[in-house]
Structure 1
Amino acid sequence: MGYEEALIAYIAATNTHDFQYVRKLLSEEAVYWFSDKSCRSIGEIQQYFENAWETIKDEVYRATDVEWLVAEENSATCIYTYEYEGYYDGKFVQGSGRATNVFVRDSLGEWKLIHEHLSSLR
């Protein structure tokens, strides 16, 4: 699996709402920057994901307008627009923002997400 497929797999894993699938695609050193929190451990990242899935029910997450800024032998960085939709307090909601993802190739040659930064479009 190349870095482009790793992004596709990551989005698909996110949409399972089961962190065990997301976890398989993360580097041990993963760092996430969300609008309201930074997560520097797998446990913190898992807690954030699970809280988001609990808050926005039946969420569907998408990456559109993906642009690969750097693609080298052992690292690749992309930016994209993220879109989500689901149900908050029983009401349909949707939104979007900006994302940056950095992937690295591990010692087994597998592409892992080491950094994600999400922000609003403002």
Structure 2
Amino acid sequence: MSDYKQALIDYINATNTHDFSEVEKCLAQNAVYWFSDNSCTTIDAIKEYFEQAWTTVQEEVYQADHVQWIATSSEVATCIYEYKWSGLVNGIHQSGKGRATNIFKQVDQKWLLIHEHLSA
């Protein structure tokens, strides 16, 4: 498996820990997130967004399905996928899905997420 493919797996697994310190290990310091309702351009803003989401959706499970690596090189790799989530919202099981784009970049010989774009 290519290292960038493992980087996506590691990122999804880190997200499912609900511990931002684990997610942060997967992020480039200048990572930019575009969500349907907000854009985050600093690690602190990304952390705040994740932690709010984990508070809203308790016991959330996030997954990436139908991953397609659409552009790859030795320095950058871009994938698109359908994301799915499920968890408890106000004690009631809920789920949803949307589309995602992730861009990973080689930083100090490690693949890190530099951009994520999620849309419902």
TM-score, length of structure 2 as denominator length:
0.98
Matched residue SS, 2:96: strand
Displacement over 2 Å in runs of 4+: none
> Is 1:46 matched with 2:32?
no
Distance (Å, rounded) in 1 between the aligned partners of 2:34 and 2:73: 23
Separation (CA, whole Å) in 2 of partners of 1:112 and 1:8: 12
Who is 2:87 aligned against? 86
Unpaired stretches in structure 2, ≥5 consecutive residues = none
Q: Cα deviations across residues 62-111 of structure 1 (Å, max 9, x unaligned)?
A: 000000001101000000000000000010000000000000001x2000
Give 1:56 deviation, angstroms: 0.2
What SS does the aligned partner of 1:17 have? coil
Counterpart for residue 59 of structure 2: 58
Q: Percent of aligned positions with the same letter in both sequences? A: 52
- SS at structure 1 position matched to 2:36: coil
Deviation at 1:113, TM superposition (A): 0.1
3-state SS in 1 of match to 2:37: coil
Task: Give the unaligned 5+ runs of structure 1.
Answer: none
Tell me the amino acid that sits aligned with residue 61 of structure 1: Y
Q: Please tell me the root mean square deviation across aligned C-alpha atoms, in Å.
A: 0.7
In the alignment, residue 116 of structure 2 is paired with which amino acid?
Answer: E
